[in-house]
Amino acid sequence: MDHLEYLQKQSKLSLVLIWHENRSSYLSCRIESHKMVIRLHRMFASMPMLIWEALASYIFQKDKKARVVLKKAAHEYFSSVYLPPKPLLSKGSTHHLLLLYDKVQQEYFPSMDLKIEIGWAKKQKRSQGRCMTFGCFDSHQRQIRIHPSLDHPSVPAYFVEFVIYHEILHAILPSAISSKGRIQAHTKEFRSQEKLFFEYEKAKSFEKTFFNSVFRRVNFL
């Protein structure tokens, strides 16, 4: 029995199954012309029957427990997938990210072979009220991207180092998934490790004031 045939047995409507590679929306359904169109990420093609049973329960019965099973399966899959990193520049007009990364790595993670690339994220147009992220760690590409607005003389090097340190913690500390299927990146262990940064209080103080006049909300990803 193939995937479509299995799902079809659970549905009163005719089904159309479309495979895709979109990580941000790995499962979606809609009804059109008396048919249900199901869009699934290709990762599900190789998953065991248990996951397909959860798919059927979630799609046709809106089972919340099945939703948690699917989120955990997707999280485990994407955490194990590696993609080539995007080409990014690490040397800015004020801060050289690679040099700062090497300093952080040697001071806090001297025995770890992190194999992480780092660079300035591409500039994007800012809309009013947008949530800004100082940095992010892409687990699929093993790459840290830093917001280009931090490449400014008014931003001290210790703060950029703190952002880098924060993102490295994302790389080495696994996220947790709650019983409701919510991914918790900033776990208790994460927050504890974050406070070990030498200038933690100073960096957090700078974080609270920097860009507040421009952005309504500033946070880490």
pLDDT of residue 131: 52
**CATH code at 97-219:** 3.30.2010.10
Residue with tokens 């799609």: 59
- Rounded to whole angstroms, the Cα distance separating 186 from 179 reads 16
- pTM reported for the whole predicted model: 0.69
Among residues 120, 208, 119, 102, the alpha carbon closest in space to that of 165 is found at: 102
What confidence score (pLDDT) does residue 217 get? 41
Give the pLDDT of residue 125: 57
Q: Which residues touch 54 (CB under 8 Å, ≥6 apart)?
A: 63, 66, 69, 70, 73
Q: What is the model's pLDDT at position 214?
A: 46
**pLDDT at site 124:** 66
Q: How far is CA 154 from CA 61, 101, 151, 210, in A?
A: 54, 19, 9, 9
What pLDDT does 22 receive? 82
Q: What is the pLDDT along the chain (221 residues), one digit of tens a residue?
A: 588 888 998 888 899 999 998 877 889 999 988 899 999 999 999 899 999 999 999 999 999 889 889 988 888 888 777 778 788 999 999 999 999 999 999 999 999 988 899 999 987 655 444 456 899 998 888 899 999 999 999 999 999 999 999 999 999 997 777 666 677 788 899 999 999 999 999 999 999 888 664 444 444 44
Q: For the chain, give every residue range classified as CATH 3.30.2010.10.
A: 97-219
